[in-house]
Structure 1
Amino acid sequence: MTDGVVRNEGVLIVGAGPTGLTLAIELARRGVGVRIVDAAPAPHRESRGKGLQPRTLEVLEDVGITGRALATGTTRLPFRKYFDGARVTDTDPFADARPTPDAPYERGVLIGQWQVERLLSERLAEFGVGVERGTEVTGFEQDEDGVTAVLADGERIRAGHLVGCDGGRSRVRKAMGVRFDGTTDATQSMVVGDVGAEGISRDVWHQWFASDGSGVMLCPMPGTDSFQFQAGPELDANGDPLPPSLESFQRIFDRYAQVPGVTLTDPTWLSLWRVNVRMVDRLRVGRVFLAGDAAHIHPIAGGLGMNTGIQDAYNLGWKLALATTGRAGPALLDTYEEERLPVAAWTLGVTTELYARVREAVKEPGTGVEAAAPPPMGTGYRWSSLAAPAHPATIGDPAVLRPGDRAPDAPCLDASGNPVRLFEVYADPRFTLLGFGAEGAEVADAVGKLAIEHEDLVQAFTVTDGEAGEAGEPGDLCDHEGHARRAYGLTASTPAPVPALVLVRPDNHIALLTQDPAEIASYLSQITTFPPKE
């Protein structure tokens, strides 16, 4: 410590929820110095956001915890709906969903948020980084060279960049001075909590609704003895929500479930939630960024909150790492806001619509919460300045893969003939170049030399068509069943000329489709000096 300032030229992350932890891992695994602090003295054990969507599972596979999440949570939990006390339906909205070679996760996983945070914390510890708890950031100052954060105990931390992942009441956001536009609807609220429930099955998600549109839900949380309780609150004489309590939960349950002999016990979390729809007008001010709930809050319908924050972090992590280590121009960081702010706006819109649909669906005996399943999220950034121009023949056809899209998975064989998925190849923190076919092998060899020129910015692979058997040479992949070619549009029906080179970003989105290695060289050179979009 010098003059009361701890020197740390890496990144300071404020907030150790799923967003902050994901970002810390993305930085740590790329060798960036990172310090992550949280005002809470200890980890919570609250279910909160309780689901990971398929795209988030793909992201977390790259981060390194999807297998652990699947082992902790459950992917199969039927919905059981009751109407005015009578059982109506048992449904599984994903019963017909199947994994495909290009999309290995056909459904999400039910898992408590505290469990996700525990898994992320354990993964972060594998890189030698721990969360500094009971550490509250009260303000910061920034200059051309970095950010100086002030802690509640007077300590001052110097960092190259600061990222606020500190939730809906974010102090970082308030100190940045950005707008947080939107509305709070005091007339729409909900009580949520974690409770025990003696005498009721844990094999289904119970949903009791009444003809007046009210009701109560009990969702069994995997790996625990508790249920997440959701219901409309009890109101006082003025029509205002009463504070949640175990006693009020029991009264609400008895009123709508009409199941005698079920006792709610052991409350470990009780919360009153109001409908907020808000987002910032900016995600970056100089060297300070926002991510997750600190940047956008919205209705809980669809379970998009935790997922959106994790995907914010995944987008920002590789860019911040390249900029911090001097391997990319600072303007690359502008693309975080360019790509994620529209996603935040989409999320606010779709969750508001879903919430309205839920409120209507519960009034009908034949429908339920599953009727408000959200559309896929995280499918791409075609509008981004990081997306190279698409081939003219593909424009206007939404079915054709284009720069900016999510990079598909596919099963292949490695150089030794062992099974390997493209997602496993992409887990490397660099860009990945795939050169398809004989022509692709030639250009991939040329582009592979760019990895040295660009200081390991890219890893290169040739992809054979499978007719020659095993791939054979280090750095080769064998598309033995043709799934990679089909996923990347390299078929006879693809409009000519067929791209032979596919450049994939570190966050597994398509950067460039081309036949010309010079275009790859130009793109990578632009990353190192990245100019703003005109």
Structure 2
Amino acid sequence: MQIVIVGAGPTGVTLALLLAKRGIAVTLIEAAKDFHRVFRGEGLMPSGLDALEQMGLSPLLEHIPHRQIDAWEFILGDKQLFRVDEPMGATRPCTLVSQPPLLKALISEAQTHDGFEFIQGVPVKDLRWSNQRVAGVVLSDGRELNADLVIGADGRNSLVRQRIGLELVRQPKNIDILWFKLAASPGFAADNVFRTIVNGDRVFTIFHGAESGKLHLAWVMSATENTDSKQANWGEIFASLSPSWLAEHFRNHADTIESPIRLSVVVGYCPQWHVPGVLLLGDAAHPMSPVRVQGINLAFRDVIVAANHLVLLLHREAGHQDIDMALSHIQAERQPEIIRAQQLQLEEAKQGELLRKNALLRSLLIQLAPLLRKIIKKSWLRRQYKMRQGITQVHLTV
């Protein structure tokens, strides 16, 4: 039986590899000519690291750029509100991994298996239909590929999703972020702390990414943002909002601050992930908020559940009706975790928005921080557990 997977991001590549390792013929299609996009999430939570281990892929991390998060810290004004050290009760700390080399390594592994084909730099233009069921894809170069199942893993703007007429239920507003890179300070290299800084109504996060010598900085844009991102003196803006040691780094390395990338992040979910002959997975089915880096972790867990339901059917060359029935079972198993994770992300985002908008609350927290620190820290930790460990049980059984 022939499977076509559209999109060679974390979802598509890992599923293609799992199927190819189990002797199933897979064609993986990627529109882009390389894996270097303007933005790729790097954060692997304990749930994502566990999924990689279950798939036998953990050793790959040792051969590509990666870096552990040592702690999470919240700074209000110029004072520490609280700090929590990794791994926060888990067996593994949150780990940042550079996606392009990870995807290349996964592709290289898949190419060692017969029946795996990778088509890169040729977009899917349309889907092929037969008797009201999707039967393959049409590529932009005119080629037509037959498939017993097409899997749309082509991200939050999924063409596959558009072609089968399934729509996202979107959260009321997008999350707008300016994403910066700049030279790292020795302090971050020695102690990689994911810091969230709230000063007045400004909020940004900063940490050392997987790439050597680079700090990543996410500036959360407000609805009334009027800063000219290209003309702004970002070194001085960041310095004015930061503790003295970090302000000095911004001023000394202002010339290394790269021009920001604006990200307008769509968040939502598909009430239905499938039609006959097609399954949506990862961001194609449920684009996640960037809050607490859930996207790649949930994508790996989608892959495990999809493999559990599909591998045996494909091995015995089950009929299309049985395959289509399995698609609904995959959604039914995955959807509760997705919906709950998005609720938790939204609750976390609302906490930050309340703090950003409410000057009185910020003032009270700064004054009472020594008294409230333990209570606030405990509350934050309680909210993080499920987003780090996973909300449902996911085990690879094939």
Work out whether 1:294 is the aligned partner of 2:284. yes
Work out whether 1:179 is the aligned partner of 2:167. yes
Paired letter, 1:283: W
- Separation of aligned partners in 2, 1:269 and 1:162: 38
Work out whether 1:254 is the aligned partner of 2:254. no
Residue number among 166, 174, 184 corresponding to 2:154 in the alignment:
166
Q: Is the 8 A contact 1:200 1:262 kept in 2?
A: no
State the match for 2:384 in structure 1.
Answer: 373
Work out whether 1:64 is the aligned partner of 2:56. yes
- Separation of aligned partners in 1, 2:87 and 2:340: 23
Matches within 5 A, 1:317-466: 317-326=307-316, 328=318, 329-330=322-323, 331-360=325-354, 363=362, 364-365=365-366, 366=373, 371=381, 373-375=384-386, 376=388, 378=390, 380=392, 405-406=393-394
Matches within 5 A, 1:196-345: 196-197=183-184, 201-202=188-189, 203-205=191-193, 207=195, 209-233=197-221, 239=224, 244-245=229-230, 249-257=234-242, 259-260=247-248, 261-264=251-254, 270-274=260-264, 276-326=266-316, 328=318, 329-330=322-323, 331-345=325-339
Using a 3 Å threshold, how does the CA distance of structure 1 residues 77 and 378 change in structure 2: closer, same or farther? closer
State the match for 1:17 in structure 2.
Answer: 9
Return the offset for 1:55.
2.6
**Deviations along 1:466-503, whole A, 9 cap, x unmatched?**
xxxxxxxxxxxxxxxxxxxxxxxxxxxxxxxxxxxxxx
Q: Bigger shift: 197-206 or 39-48?
A: 197-206
- Separation of aligned partners in 1, 2:343 and 2:270: 14
**Deviations along 1:75-117, whole A, 9 cap, x unmatched?**
441234433234565431535x26xxxxxx4443222333442
Paired letter, 1:35: T
Residue number among 127, 132, 139 corresponding to 2:126 in the alignment:
139
Q: Is the 8 A contact 1:197 1:265 kept in 2?
A: no
2:173 partner SS:
strand
- Separation of aligned partners in 2, 1:180 and 1:170: 10
Paired letter, 1:173: R
- Separation of aligned partners in 1, 2:307 and 2:202: 42
Structure having greater relative contact order (Cα 8 Å, sep ≥ 6) = 2
Paired letter, 1:155: R
The percentage of aligned residue pairs carrying the same residue is 20
- Separation of aligned partners in 2, 1:360 and 1:93: 26
Q: Is the 8 A contact 1:192 1:270 kept in 2?
A: yes
Q: Is the 8 A contact 2:136 2:149 kept in 1?
A: no
1:210 partner SS:
strand
State the match for 1:121 in structure 2.
Answer: 107
- Separation of aligned partners in 2, 1:47 and 1:313: 22
- Separation of aligned partners in 1, 2:165 and 2:233: 39
Return the offset for 1:199.
7.0
- Separation of aligned partners in 1, 2:290 and 2:276: 31
- Separation of aligned partners in 2, 1:28 and 1:272: 37
State the match for 2:369 in structure 1.
Answer: none
Q: Is the 8 A contact 1:160 1:287 kept in 2?
A: yes
Paired letter, 1:174: Q
- Separation of aligned partners in 2, 1:214 and 1:319: 46
If you compute each CA radius of gyration, which structure gives the higher value, 1 or 2? 1
Q: Bigger shift: 340-349 or 279-288?
A: 340-349
**Deviations along 1:448-476, whole A, 9 cap, x unmatched?**
xxxxxxxxxxxxxxxxxxxxxxxxxxxxx
Work out whether 1:109 is the aligned partner of 2:95. yes
2:213 partner SS:
coil
**Deviations along 1:215-257, whole A, 9 cap, x unmatched?**
322210134221221112388xxx3566755956435423322
Q: Is the 8 A contact 1:22 1:310 kept in 2?
A: yes
Work out whether 1:43 is the aligned partner of 2:35. yes
Residue number among 170, 173, 176 corresponding to 1:189 in the alignment:
176
- Separation of aligned partners in 2, 1:241 and 1:280: 33
1:219 partner SS:
strand
- Separation of aligned partners in 2, 1:196 and 1:227: 6
State the match for 1:34 in structure 2.
Answer: 26
1:127 partner SS:
coil
Matches within 5 A, 1:463-502: none
Q: Is the 8 A contact 2:70 2:93 kept in 1?
A: no
Q: Is the 8 A contact 1:191 1:272 kept in 2?
A: yes
- CA RMSD of the aligned region, Å? 3.2
- Separation of aligned partners in 1, 2:36 and 2:257: 14
State the match for 2:370 in structure 1.
Answer: none
Q: Bigger shift: 166-175 or 105-114?
A: 105-114
Return the offset for 1:301.
1.2
- Separation of aligned partners in 2, 1:135 and 1:193: 30
Q: Is the 8 A contact 1:178 1:282 kept in 2?
A: yes
State the match for 1:92 in structure 2.
Answer: 85
- Separation of aligned partners in 1, 2:266 and 2:300: 20
Q: How many residues align?
A: 367
Paired letter, 1:139: D
1:140 partner SS:
strand
- Separation of aligned partners in 1, 2:186 and 2:394: 45
State the match for 1:393 in structure 2.
Answer: none
Paired letter, 2:346: T
TM-score (norm: length of structure 1): 0.61
Consecutive unaligned residues of structure 1, counting only runs of 5 or more, are 1-8, 99-104, 381-404, 408-425, 427-504, 507-534
Paired letter, 2:348: L
More helix by share: 2
Using a 3 Å threshold, how does the CA distance of structure 1 residues 225 and 131 change in structure 2: closer, same or farther? farther
TM-score (norm: length of structure 2): 0.79
